[in-house]
Amino acid sequence: MSRHAFAAALLLLAAAGGASAQSAVYRCGNEYTRTPCNQGGTMVDTQNSARTAAQRAEAQRVAAAERKLAEDMERDRRRAEAANRPVPAVDLGPAKPASQAKNAASGKAKKKKNKKDAAQGDDFVAVVPKAKT
């Protein structure tokens, strides 16, 4: 068990130790809960703690350090999210040649001369041919 997990378990047990005798704590594998386990759980005696004052102080110090680290990480995440706002898409249509974009921006759009030029920028549309009768 890692040092942080051990300290967190000690903190949990210390908090449960201050609770009333009605509140039982169960160990279900690597998890502590107030509800009985389905299988393989053991009841933890929280009334007669063998922890020293130094162990309790260390558990409180670790919990405070982890709380501060979590707050720092949340603050950094929020700053990064605020700095990375996506730019909304304006037009997702087909790209226009630079000459058409320049003319459209100046308000001088050229008239289309023939059907071939008109269909060049349009999307393909499939048409079912008419049946011969």
Average the pLDDT over 77-101 and give the result: 77
74 compared with 130, residue with greater pLDDT: 74
Average the pLDDT over 104-108 and give the result: 57
19 compared with 116, residue with greater pLDDT: 116
The pLDDT, as a whole number, for residue 67 is: 97
- Residue ranges covered by each domain of the chain: 3-83
Q: With beta carbons less than 8 A apart as the criterion, state whether 59 and 11 touch.
A: yes
Residue 70 phi, psi dihedral angles, 5° rounding: -65, -40
Mean pLDDT for the chain? 76
Say if residue 18's pLDDT is above 60. no
The pLDDT, as a whole number, for residue 5 is: 67
Kindly list the distances between the CA atom of residue 113 and the CA atoms of 106, 110, 116, 117, 119, in Å, as whole numbers in the listed order.
20, 9, 8, 7, 11
What confidence tier does 29 reach under pLDDT thresholds 50, 70, 90?
A: confident
User: Residue 80's Cα: distance from chain center in Å?
Assistant: 13
Say if residue 111's pLDDT is above 60. no
Tokens standing for 116?
A: 């071939």
| Measured torsion, CA atoms of residues 88, 90, 94, 97, in degrees rounded to the nearest 10 | -120
Q: Lowest mean pLDDT of 14-28, 53-67, 72-86, name the range.
A: 14-28
33 compared with 65, residue with greater pLDDT: 65
Say if residue 13's pLDDT is above 80. no
The pLDDT, as a whole number, for residue 59 is: 92
